[in-house]
């Protein structure tokens, strides 16, 4: 496979993390070593200047943007794996430039330079699109008020929104709609090898098959352990951190025949069984394990990508 870089793009809540993680796992299972790089890891490890812009610590500077992309392309080329990246073009190019109210022609010119920098990696793009209004509303319902505040706060702070007198959820939705349209245009203009999927209906089986066809690999089924409903229900509850940092509590809730983990004001993700007591939090780089005593989970261990283990006790 010539492709060294696969980028999954789209507005928030289109399923970028879920599909990019799926693609990386399937590449691995088909004998193509892959590294999944979710959005947070992508920004923290490879785009320090963009991250500073998104955190409102500095204004966007195209020279620093190009510096980040050049270093990122070199890192991908030097790696022994194919990178499958969540929202690199979206969050490390289109969004910060659009938010800064750069003209569309200037944004297109920057994307052309990025395409040139990445050309030797033979990149492929999976662009997830849809009815942005429906997607934004669904994201707020599922992820909670903390997510709504983040979504609106990011948009309200941008010169692009302020110049148009936009604010609130409606304003943030309009910004995302503009970003989706612009991303589609620049992908078409600069000849990126692209698969575009409308994910409004959330037909994940169809979308997964389309991704596999685009990558030219068959699906390799993953055998998950069977965990009974009684066992799953015994894990649900609220857990408090032994040493509070960040989220003092997490809750495990029964949702549509499975479990999901929530923070105080935001949903983290669906739990996928790895063993009878250990679960992967879907579309994240976090695992959790329940410590069962007397038929009930008394403790929860949370494993982060850096190897740190955080202990929680049932309340």
Question: For the segment 37-55, what is each residue's pLDDT rounded down to a tens digit?
Answer: 999 999 999 999 999 998 8
The phi-psi region of residue 113 (left if phi > 0; otherwise alpha if psi is between -120 and 50; otherwise beta) is: alpha
- Residues spanned by CATH 3.40.50.300 within the chain? 5-215
Torsion of CA 226, 232, 234, 240, to 10 degrees: 120
Q: 161, 155 in Cβ contact below 8 A?
A: yes
Mean pLDDT estimate for the chain: 94
Beta strands 296-303 and 278-281, pairing class: unpaired
In this prediction, residue 146 carries a pLDDT of 86
Q: How deeply is 137 buried, as exposed, middle or buried, from its count of CB atoms within 10 A (0-12, 13-18, 19+)?
A: middle
Q: What residues contact residue 267 under an 8 Å CB cut-off, 6+ apart?
A: 142, 143, 144, 147, 260, 261
Per-residue pLDDT of the chain (315 residues; tens, 9 = 90+): 799 999 999 999 999 999 999 999 999 999 999 999 999 999 999 999 999 998 889 999 999 999 999 999 999 999 999 999 999 999 999 999 999 999 999 999 999 999 999 999 999 999 999 999 999 999 999 888 888 999 999 999 999 999 999 999 999 999 999 999 999 999 998 889 999 999 998 688 999 999 999 999 999 999 999 999 999 999 999 999 998 766 689 999 998 889 999 988 888 899 999 999 999 999 899 999 999 998 889 999 999 988 999 999 999
Question: For the segment 270-296, what is each residue's pLDDT rounded down to a tens digit?
Answer: 999 999 999 999 989 999 999 999 888
pTM of the model: 0.91
**3-state SS class at 232:** helix
Q: Which CATH number fits domain 5-215: 3.40.50.10420, 3.40.630.70, 1.10.1060.10, 3.40.50.300?
A: 3.40.50.300
Q: What is the CATH number of domain 229-314?
A: 2.40.128
- Residues spanned by CATH 2.40.128 within the chain? 229-314
């Amino acid at each position: 496979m010539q492709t060294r870089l696969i980028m999954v793009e789209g507005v928030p809540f289109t399923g970028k993390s879920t599909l990019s993680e799926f693609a990386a796992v399937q590449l691995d299972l088909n004998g193509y070593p892959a590294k999944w790089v979710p959005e947070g890891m992508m920004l923290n490890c490879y785009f320090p200047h963009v991250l500073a812009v998104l955190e409102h610590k500095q204004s966007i500077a195209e020279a620093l943007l190009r510096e980040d992309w050049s270093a990122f392309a070199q890192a991908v080329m030097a790696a022994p794996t194919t990178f499958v990246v969540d929202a690199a073009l979206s969050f490390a190019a289109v969004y910060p430039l659009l938010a800064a109210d750069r003209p569309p022609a200037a944004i297109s010119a920057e994307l052309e330079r990025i395409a040139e920098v990445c050309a030797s990696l033979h990149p492929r793009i999976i662009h997830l699109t849809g009815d942005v209004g429906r997607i934004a509303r669904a994201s707020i319902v599922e992820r909670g008020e903390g997510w709504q505040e983040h979504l609106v706060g990011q948009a309200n702070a941008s010169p692009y929104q302020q110049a148009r007198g936009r604010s609130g959820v409606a304003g943030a939705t309009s910004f995302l709609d503009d970003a989706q349209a612009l991303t589609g245009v620049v992908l078409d203009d600069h000849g990126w090898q692209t698969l575009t999927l409308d994910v409004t209906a959330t037909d994940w089986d169809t979308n997964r098959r389309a991704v596999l066809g685009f990558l030219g690999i068959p699906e390799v089924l993953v055998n998950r352990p069977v965990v009974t409903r009684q066992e799953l229900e015994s894990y649900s509850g609220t857990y408090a951190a032994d040493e509070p940092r960040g989220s003092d509590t997490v809750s495990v809730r029964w949702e549509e025949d499975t479990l999901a983990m929530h923070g105080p004001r935001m949903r983290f993700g669906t739990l996928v069984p790895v063993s009878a007591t250990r679960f992967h939090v879907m579309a994240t780089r976090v695992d959790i394990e329940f410590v069962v005593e007397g038929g009930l989970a008394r403790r929860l261990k949370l494993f982060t990508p850096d190897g740190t283990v955080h202990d929680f006790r049932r309340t």
